[in-house]
Structure 1
Amino acid sequence: MTKEDKRKHILDTAEKMFAAFGYEGASTRQLASEAGVNMAMLNYYFGSKESLLQAVLERRIAGMRNQLEEAKEVNASAWEKLNRALEIYLNRVSANNSFHRIIYREISLNQRSTLSYFLSENVFRNVQTIMDIIREGIQDSSFRKVDVEMTAASILGTIYYLLNSEQVAARLLDTDFQDQAAVDTEIKPRIKKFLHDYLQAYLMHHDSEKQ
């Protein structure tokens, strides 16, 4: 196994451990044992538990950022780009729900200032891509002149609230959020349709505005 393969294996293992036990609950000895490496090797690759968490989260955030940037650069209308970006966000958050909880917990608690700053900067870059698409639509007059920042906050707030407040959302939508099949076949399509209809009504020009 090459150094890169070994590093990836440690990251894959740490990802599962952090998702299962959280940052505080996953000890470095547990992480090393699960990955089949000794503490010296774990420290060699990452130096500290915080650096390991940062590497795990950076990989997740970078993956989403690359997909969002690709959606932003496709040869399509701003409306089509926005819908692609929303689907990317929805798919990745629902598939990696535990990690998005860790991300926002770290940002909100601000207990590890260096990590919190890193996360907030990188998460904002992803949000910025969505705002860029909305601004593009406003600039080419396909969208109304709306509050771009509040629009982005409304989009992400809907997704994160429903997928990260499972007990309340389960009662609100009368669906078992522990059932991944139900999330995939019922919740995700419902969120997607709501956001599509909401944004279409909010962003698109009304007939009265064209007169």
Structure 2
Amino acid sequence: MSIEAGKRVEKGAIRDALLDAASALMREQDTVEIGILDIAARASVNHGMIRYYFGSKEGMLLALLDRDVMHAIHQLEALFQLDVTPTERMRIHLSGIVDTYYRIPYLNRLIQAMVRDATPERVHHIAEELLKPIAGAQQRIIEEGIAKGEFRAVDPKLFYFNTIGSADGLYSNRFTLSAVFGGIPEANEALHERYRAQTVETLLAGLLR
């Protein structure tokens, strides 16, 4: 391996380590308000590496948001290659959305933080490149289902908010889960599987004719 290739590998490893560290801290601390010193310490690098690789903490968080959401978008691209009914496609899609919020419970809070007082360019990027593809894919499934007589007519925009609100609800409400429902500190795998099954079936019930 050449010296330059080695540098590229190292750079990618440090960059990924910083993103992984920020993600882990936001999950553990249940907040997007995390410090650069904590991020760097978790990644075992000097905090100056954040500025070096991302320009700023905000640049790093935007890169994390890109990585998190693009993973979901790539899954959607694969979903439309499947030869399945609209109902089954929607079931897979809804399951994937709930899985995403279980894996990334800070997602909605991070989006809000990234668009608050942001430049028009950043807002445009988040809306057009990250959020609209997901909302558009869901609308496409709904329209396919209506055309084939499997779904009743619903407003795709409102159903999108139904979906995101349901998917986000359990994982972003640790206090309610802990204080009201038996002292569970956060959703574990078993609870997540139960919640995913109930949420998907509840949302589908509002679609099916």
TM-score normalised by the chain length of structure 1: 0.77
- Structure 2 unaligned spans of 5+: 1-8
Q: Which residue of 2 aligns with 1:59?
A: 67
The counterpart of 1:129, out of the listed 126, 130, 137, is 137
Deviations 1:43-86 (CA, angstroms, capped at 9, x unpaired): 22111000000111111100111112211231211111111100
Q: How far apart, in 1, do the equivalents of 2:26 and 2:172 lie?
A: 16
- How many residues get paired? 198
1:103 equivalent to 2:110? Answer yes
Q: Which residue of 1 aligns with 2:25?
A: 17
The counterpart of 1:180, out of the listed 182, 188, 207, is 188
Tell me if the contact between 2:87 and 2:145 (Cα under 8 Å) persists in the aligned partners: yes
Tell me if the contact between 1:50 and 1:115 (Cα under 8 Å) persists in the aligned partners: no
- Structure 1 unaligned spans of 5+: 205-211
1:38 equivalent to 2:27? Answer no
Q: How far apart, in 2, do the equivalents of 1:116 and 1:31 lie?
A: 25
Identify if the C-alpha distance between structure 1 residues 28 and 168 changes in structure 2 by more than 3 Å, giving closer, same or farther.
closer
- Percent sequence identity is 21
Q: How far apart, in 2, do the equivalents of 1:174 and 1:193 lie?
A: 24
1:28 equivalent to 2:36? Answer yes
Q: 1:38 Cα deviation (Å)?
A: 2.2
Higher helix share: 1
Deviations 1:157-189 (CA, angstroms, capped at 9, x unpaired): 222234434445678877946241452243222
Q: Which residue of 1 aligns with 2:151?
A: 143
Q: How far apart, in 2, do the equivalents of 1:140 and 1:13 lie?
A: 45
Identify if the C-alpha distance between structure 1 residues 179 and 29 changes in structure 2 by more than 3 Å, giving closer, same or farther.
closer
The counterpart of 2:98, out of the listed 73, 90, 95, is 90
Identify if the C-alpha distance between structure 1 residues 53 and 189 changes in structure 2 by more than 3 Å, giving closer, same or farther.
same
1:134 is paired with a residue whose SS is: helix
TM-score normalised by the chain length of structure 2: 0.78
Q: 1:132 Cα deviation (Å)?
A: 1.2
Tell me if the contact between 1:106 and 1:116 (Cα under 8 Å) persists in the aligned partners: no
Identify if the C-alpha distance between structure 1 residues 177 and 89 changes in structure 2 by more than 3 Å, giving closer, same or farther.
farther
Moved over 6 A (4+): 169-175
Q: 1:112 Cα deviation (Å)?
A: 3.2
